[in-house]
Chains A and B, each alone.
Chain A
Amino acid sequence: MMSTHIKSLIGWAKHSSSTPADTTGGHTIARLSRIRSIGFKHLVPWILPILFLSGWQWAASAGLITHRTLPQPSQVLKAFIQLTQSGELWTHLKISFGRALLGFAIGGGLGLILGLITGISRLSEQLLDTSIQMIRNIPPLSLIPLVILWFGIDETAKLFLVAFGTVFPVYINTYHGIKSVDVQLIEMAQSYGLRGWPLFRDVILPGALPSILVGIRFGLGFAWVLLIVAETISASSGIGYLAMNAREFLQTDVVVLSILLYALLGKATDLFARHLERHWLKWHPSYQKGGA
């Protein structure tokens, strides 16, 4: 049933998009380029979210969506203002953010170190890689019962889950990045007398950096996913706790607010990772002249 529904949606999308594009394609392109030249291109990514929100507000206030299903966006905003004024929001936000960052720092740092070691040394690759690949295939969330037995429901449990889940994206991308550094560049650098640390610092690490940063972005995204689960299962603080607590009192506005906060926090960390990319990869052709 589900699949037929999706198919009909796709069919509808294909059908409806083909007609206007055929008739006014040239016109649309001309208008788009004008918008871009004025400098509105920063607004374009926000068109869909704004349309979505206003549609939602209209549907909720017209009674198409009951409050038990979804609150009005304006109610979510009101909850946001109330929680901000009471200081509650800020406390929970800080705690969740701290958990995600600390967990990622431990997991990502470990992944980076392991990836560097196995990427550079053939012996440690043989020693470690098979074991790491086996542990990698354990879904982090399947560890929850064990984690609760080991650490109870306090901070360590959440940090452990986040760290465990973020080791592997960073590890794999670091390892792969080092393995894919151009051998010809290494040969050239060696012929210019670079050995050991200078060879690593000037050739291997910068060559692996694009891939390492991809791993960091994946890892940060995954850190939030794991933290949400950890916080909704067992916590006495954090955004997940805020949401679960509100559910008991049927406060759908606070629940939706928590979900939105997670989305914003995820976006914020992703922006941070992209900033790192822009800064460290400014030599890369795709990051020059603003990516154009």
Chain B
Amino acid sequence: MKYASASNSSFGVRITLRHLARHFGSQQIFTNLSLDIEPGEWIALVGRSGCGKSTLLRLIAGLDSAQSGSIHIGHAHPAASSTQSPDIRLMFQDARLLPWKSVLANVGLGLTGNWQDKAQEALQEVGLAEHAHKWPSQLSGGQRQRVALARALIHKPHLLLLDEPLGALDALTRIEMQQLIERVWQRHRFTVILVTHDVQEAIALADRIVLLEHGRVGLDQTIPFPRPRARGSAEFAALEASILERVLSHAAGTEPVFPHPPSSIVPSTLRWAL
């Protein structure tokens, strides 16, 4: 992976993907994937399970490498210092906090010098200042994800990669978390790539929805609604329905839900599973 020069500002990075190919053994994930992401843009990657959303995220994060093609991550203003590589932070579905460190120490992980004040500030930003000295096991799932967000934010990332970080949360906590990440993003304007199964979440948060299918970009849809977005509105619902239909219709052609119609089951072939 090649990094262009990065400035000290927390402004987001531009991402250019060209002709990416990645396969695991005989299984092709991408054949020829190209995508441009503007600095400070929020992209939502959607698609069915196994379409390669998470693989793409890991490629961008540098946790995995492509067999061919190029990934270019760089600043909009290459005039800035060329020594610093852009800061990329990844949030997973589970918070991955160290259970033996206090919440505050988890946020300050990997920092040196006087990190306590910065960590306290980052916790303040996600609304957990009063939980700084608790153990992670004493927090709820949503609070743990907020700690993980604070841990990412303290590094002033240029690019935040979210791998379904809200997938394991209940509906209300989920919406709270979505609003929190949106607020933080509006303040810092880093680039965000959000992998999600939830089309509604993608429409509520992203500037652009990118649908991955058959190893390519199947749909690249800009979301025109102003923020904050009202989920109840008719346009919102119409867009959600059309994108969902697009995701499902294309998948149905290649991957039948029932390999054999249920009517073909003959009662005499059934066995009791006792």
Q: How far is the CA of A187 from the CA of B96 in the complex (A)?
A: 10
Q: Report the stretch among B98-106, B170-178, B183-191, B201-209 that lies at the interface.
A: B98-106
Task: Please give me the residue from chain B that is nearest to A187 by CB atom.
Answer: B63
Interface string of B90-114 (1 = CB under 8 A from A): 1010101011110000000110000
- Min Cβ gap B109→A in Å is 5
Residues on B with beta carbons closer than 8 Å to the beta carbon of A203: 98
Residues on A with beta carbons closer than 8 Å to the beta carbon of B99: 283-284
Contact B110 A185 (CB under 8 A): no
In the complex, A193 has a CB within 8 A of chain B: yes
Q: With A187-B63, A191-B61 in contact, do A288 and B135 touch (Cβ < 8 Å)?
A: yes
Contact B110 A194 (CB under 8 A): yes
In the complex, B137 has a CB within 8 A of chain A: yes
- Min Cβ gap A274→B in Å is 18
In the complex, B124 has a CB within 8 A of chain A: no
- Min Cβ gap A287→B in Å is 10
Contact B98 A192 (CB under 8 A): no
In the complex, A189 has a CB within 8 A of chain B: yes
In the complex, B179 has a CB within 8 A of chain A: no
Residues on A with beta carbons closer than 8 Å to the beta carbon of B138: 288
Q: With A184-B96, A206-B100, A288-B135 in contact, do A192 and B63 touch (Cβ < 8 Å)?
A: no
Contact A193 B63 (CB under 8 A): no
In the complex, A291 has a CB within 8 A of chain B: no
Partner of B98, one of A187, A193, A202: A202
Q: With A285-B137, A288-B135, A288-B138 in contact, do A193 and B92 touch (Cβ < 8 Å)?
A: no
Q: How far is the CA of A12 from the CA of B101 in the complex (A)?
A: 51
In the complex, A188 has a CB within 8 A of chain B: yes
Residues on A with beta carbons closer than 8 Å to the beta carbon of B110: 189, 192-194, 198
Q: With A184-B92, A184-B94 in contact, do A189 and B135 touch (Cβ < 8 Å)?
A: no
Residues of B126-148 whose CB lies within 8 A of A:
135-138
Interface string of A201-217 (1 = CB under 8 A from B): 01100110100000000
Q: How far is the CA of A146 from the CA of B91 in the complex (A)?
A: 59
- Min Cβ gap B139→A in Å is 11
Q: Which residue of B90, B92, B100 has the most chain A CB atoms within 10 A of its CB atom?
A: B100
- Min Cβ gap B145→A in Å is 13
Contact A191 B100 (CB under 8 A): no
Q: How far is the CA of A202 from the CA of B109 in the complex (A)?
A: 9
Contact B63 A189 (CB under 8 A): no
Q: Which residue of A187, A191, A193 has the most chain B CB atoms within 10 A of its CB atom?
A: A191
- Min Cβ gap B105→A in Å is 9
- Min Cβ gap B100→A in Å is 4
Q: With A193-B110, A288-B138 in contact, do A185 and B92 touch (Cβ < 8 Å)?
A: no
Q: How far is the CA of A194 from the CA of B138 in the complex (A)?
A: 25
Contact B137 A283 (CB under 8 A): yes
Q: Which residue of A184, A187, A188, A206 has the most chain B CB atoms within 10 A of its CB atom?
A: A188
Residues on B with beta carbons closer than 8 Å to the beta carbon of A284: 99-100, 137
Q: How far is the CA of A193 from the CA of B85 in the complex (A)?
A: 13
Q: How far is the CA of A184 from the CA of B137 in the complex (A)?
A: 17
- Min Cβ gap B58→A in Å is 10
Interchain residue pairs with CB less than 8 A apart (22): A184-B96, A185-B96, A185-B98, A187-B63, A188-B96, A189-B109, A189-B110, A191-B61, A191-B89, A191-B90, A192-B110, A194-B109, A202-B98, A206-B98, A206-B101, A283-B100, A283-B135, A283-B136, A283-B137, A284-B100, A285-B137, A288-B138
